[in-house]
Structures are given as C-alpha cells and as structure tokens.
Amino acid sequence: MKFGVIVFPGSNCDHDAYHVIGQVAHQPVTFLWHESHDLENCDVIVVPGGFAYGDYLRTGAIAKFSPVMEAVKAFADGGGLVLGICNGFQILCEAGLLPGALMRNAGLKYVCKFVHIRVENTDTPFTAACRAGEVLRIPIGHMEGNYFCDAATHAQLVRERRIVFRYVTPSGEPTADANPNGSLDNIAGVCSAGRNVLGMMPHPERASEAQLGGRDGFHIFESLVGALTRA
C-alpha cells in the first residue's frame, strides 16, 4: 500500500501528514506536487491542511483547478480513497467531491484549540478502527470551518448516514457550546456517497502521537491501513 500527500503552494500540514503516515503508521508515502497529473500508483490520497494558493477568492476555489485535482477526481470516481483535512475538506467541497461548503466561522475569528468529535459512522474506511459513538479529542485550526448545505442535501446526508463526525461535549452531547464554528447540525466531517472520500475539519495528524497531547487522531490513519490490508 502507498499513500500520497498533495502539496499546494500554501500547504502547511503536508509534512505533518507525511510524518504520521511514514513514521507513526510505518507506511510508504510520497509527496504529490499540485502541477502533476501523476498520482504515482498511490492507494490513498491525502489533501492536507493549510492555505492552498493563499486562500484567494475562497478557500479551495483555485486549488480545485490544479492539475493534480483532475487526477484526484478520476481516482475518487474509480473508488480510490481520498482524505481531505481542514483546507483539504474545503478543496474537496469546491471540487464537487463532497457536498456543501465551508463558510466563515460564526464568530468571525480564527479558532485553534482541541475539540471533541463523536464518531457517527464506523461504516467507512476512515473510521473502521473506531467505535460507534466514540468521542475523539482532536485539534482544529481554521477560519472557514462553518459547514453548510441546503435542507435537501442535509436530509440526504442524514438518510444515507454520511455525517461521519459531529462536534460534541466531552461526554458526547452535540450542544451549541460544543460547536466551535457554527457548523450546521454540529457537522465536523462528511463522506461521499461511495464512502471512499472523507472531509473533516479537525486535524487527526496533529493528534497521532502522545507527545502532541493524545493519539485519538491516529484512529483515522489506523482505519485506512486496515482497510487497505483487507482489500
């Protein structure tokens, strides 16, 4: 198995993801440059956090036109596994690989802190190593993390069990106070209809080692390794 981490001008969490995959999960990993159409036979593509193309226009609005994203779309359409983290989530929504949009935080301020998210669905390659209802403590760091979609899309996400993570209290309650950015229905992550594309605002790569304050985020990478092993 092989992971690929995309590098855009402005990516700043690419090396974090690369480190966790290579040094913590002990899996082959390579960087993929934004101008390339070649995904180098990777089995999982990670679209990392940061400020792709400086977040000009809107977050992810320019990145979706990059050559590598054309290859990622084809890869995802064929069932390939794609994980978008923070800015990566924004890019996947702009590119049409996931529904909805990430808007400015309700408080109009950048938010950087640990939050708690509840695992709503373990029937994905990204959460199979988790327990249904498990509460993970993972940090966020964003200005545009306020997830929104129209009522019909939200109803579809609920019906198809595609809401993968919700912001909650430490005890697992999805309250308004536990919602750090105003996201609709406390949504912190959603997946595609085929369950092979996941976007999440919290940063699992920043919570994959005890030295960083916890390893809850490693469950995401552990799940992916397990999914590839079983494939």
Catalytic residue set? 86, 203, 205
The secondary structure of 70-105 as a DSSP string is: HHHHHHHHTT-EEEEETHHHHHHHHTTSSSSEEE--
Taking the C-alpha atoms of residue 190 and residue 65, their distance in angstroms, rounded to an integer, is 22
Q: Which has the closest alpha carbon to 209: 199, 219, 200, 201?
A: 219
- Among 50, 58, 62, 5, CA closest to 30: 5
